[in-house]
Structure 1
Amino acid sequence: MIRKLYILTFLCLIFASYVAKGQGKLILEKETHDFGTIAEGTLASYVFRVKNVGKDPVVLTGVQASCGCTTPTWTKEPILPGKIGMIKAVYNSEGRPGPFYKSITVTSNNSEEPTHTLYIKGEVSTKDLKSGYTAEQKALSPRLAVGSTSHNFGKLEKGQKAVASFKVRNTGRQPLIIQGVQSACNCVTYRSSVAEIKAGQVATLELTYVPAVLKEQTEVVTVSSNDIVMPTLRLTLKADVQENKASKNMLREGVKPVPFR
């Protein structure tokens, strides 16, 4: 009996060692995001992307911000080899004028580097930021322009992830930075094809929408940027959200759900 117990303990240790030293490997798309200058009261958000270039799944076991002013959310399910995970950082600038530089510590079962550190930075100006600029400063400002301000997904299933792409152009004279997006449903994240959109450059702004409410939905998404003339721009997402078909099929099976056939 004692011998069996020793063997079982030995096997558990081997298994734990194997799990801890899995061959998953994360690489970061970028380590630091600069929001530039934002008006006080802005909820500035950015989504960091991490890719698993290893052979085994990687699990983000924890994400911790350096202060309570930054709220992180992240991919909870295992990131499979070749797939991308997300870490969203939201900085609350209310009552925090001046420059900021915050860190976000990411821990995982990454075989080579189990801990990564991400950074967000910028400067918080007063709430009446845009009214204090001179005509010359406004003339030199970056300017955000879009060809279309709405996108209709058509029919979507509840919980389905859908991406709307908007072409944005900087018609100003200084680099344009997308600083964050806000929506009442808190179900929209974003990604810009470039960190800084140079003067005259066109970039792609991707809005990822995950509907959580049934029937026809209209989500107004406020995009914040360092355009001092028009620091916020509203985009509209529409969808006819329907019940998830897989859930319905599982219910029809009876006692035990069978999602695949």
Structure 2
Amino acid sequence: MRFASTLVLCLLALAARAQGVLTFETTDHDFGKVPEGTMATHEFKFKNTGNQPVVIANAQASCGCTTPEWTKAPVLPGHSGVIKAVYNSAGRPGVFAKTVTVMSNATEGSKVLSLKGTVLSKEEIRASLTPAQLAATPRLTLEKATYDFGRIEAGQQPVAHLTVRNTGPKDLVLGTLTSSCYCVGFRTVPAAIKPGQRAVLELVYAPRGTGALAEVVTLDSNDPRGDAKLTLKADVVKSLVPTSLVKESGASVPFK
């Protein structure tokens, strides 16, 4: 009886020790000075130093400005994985400190990773650059700064196609779109534009009213010269169907 009890206790002790362990190379990262408009990215690498597979259930950022990605497959003992954190610096000059909380089935079920840095405004960057250094930065050029949808019906969400060129010697990274109406967004997130290349941006417009509308949209990027501004125009009507046809369709037809 005593032997059986001792065996059970030993098995329970072994089971308690049979668990995955997340060992990170580092849990803190300092980006230092980050130019406004860039997507500051860091990969937190880890290794499973335990004796059971580790599954990352979730990685939760402390704000919507930080986007985490992580290894989805079970990490076997002795194998490695990564937690990738991307901080969107667009429109956020100044000091920042963010966290990503990693939840898993490891011995330490919750692990906090920290990010910090200082986002330099475009004015600060531009003031610190010599003319030669400024010439070596990416440069955003809009082929046209106005797009007219013409006459559209309320409730429609038309797409504007605008061409952007990078006339600088480094990759141009586009950031966020902002407008006072909060009614314009990217159809798909644009990729970085190589030097000398161009890209067609697809902007989805969801008008908030009717009549002759003109929405000023600000396009953020890593061009230190400043943000680009463009205007979307539209004549928004309640219906594109002529009034006479609406009346005819609603008129009663007498029996013959």
TM-score (norm 2): 0.51
Indicate whether 1:203 and 2:186 are aligned: no
Task: Work out the CA distance in 1 between the residues paired with 2:117 and 2:150.
Answer: 37
Q: CA deviation at 1:156?
A: 1.4
Aligned to 2:160: 164
Aligned to 1:155: 151
Task: Work out the CA distance in 1 between the residues paired with 2:197 and 2:240.
Answer: 42
Task: Work out the CA distance in 2 between the residues paired with 1:99 and 1:197.
Answer: 29
Task: Work out the CA distance in 2 between the residues paired with 1:101 and 1:242.
Answer: 47
Contact 1:97 1:126 in 2 (8 A): no
Q: CA deviation at 1:93?
A: 5.1
Runs of 4+ in 1 over 6 A off after TM superposition: 89-92, 99-103
Q: Could you give the per-residue CA deviations for residues 124-162 of structure 1, whole angstroms, max 9, x where no partner exists?
A: 224632322222220101011121111110111222111
Task: Work out the CA distance in 2 between the residues paired with 1:91 and 1:171.
Answer: 23
For the pair shown, the structure with the greater C-alpha radius of gyration is 2
Task: Work out the CA distance in 2 between the residues paired with 1:99 and 1:178.
Answer: 23
The partner residue of 1:37 within 35, 38, 52 is 35
Indicate whether 1:183 and 2:192 are aligned: no
Taking a change above 3 Å as real, the CA distance of residues 223 and 210 of structure 1, as seen in their structure-2 partners, is same
Paired residue type of 2:179: S
Aligned to 1:140: 136
Aligned to 2:62: 67
Contact 1:38 1:123 in 2 (8 A): no
Aligned to 1:216: 212
Taking a change above 3 Å as real, the CA distance of residues 228 and 100 of structure 1, as seen in their structure-2 partners, is farther
Following superposition of structure 1 onto structure 2, how do residues 220-259 of structure 1 map, counting pairs within 5 Å? 220-229=216-225, 231-244=226-239
Q: CA deviation at 1:69?
A: 5.1
Q: CA deviation at 1:178?
A: 0.7
Taking a change above 3 Å as real, the CA distance of residues 101 and 209 of structure 1, as seen in their structure-2 partners, is farther
Alignment gaps of 5+ in structure 1:
1-35, 45-63, 73-88, 104-120, 254-261
SS of 1:128's equivalent? helix
SS of 1:151's equivalent? strand
The partner residue of 2:119 within 95, 102, 124 is 124
Say how many residue pairs are matched.
Answer: 159
Over aligned residue pairs, what C-alpha RMSD do you find? 3.9
Contact 1:37 1:122 in 2 (8 A): no
Contact 1:218 1:238 in 2 (8 A): yes
TM-score (norm 1): 0.50
Taking a change above 3 Å as real, the CA distance of residues 168 and 159 of structure 1, as seen in their structure-2 partners, is same
Task: Work out the CA distance in 1 between the residues paired with 2:202 and 2:190.
Answer: 11
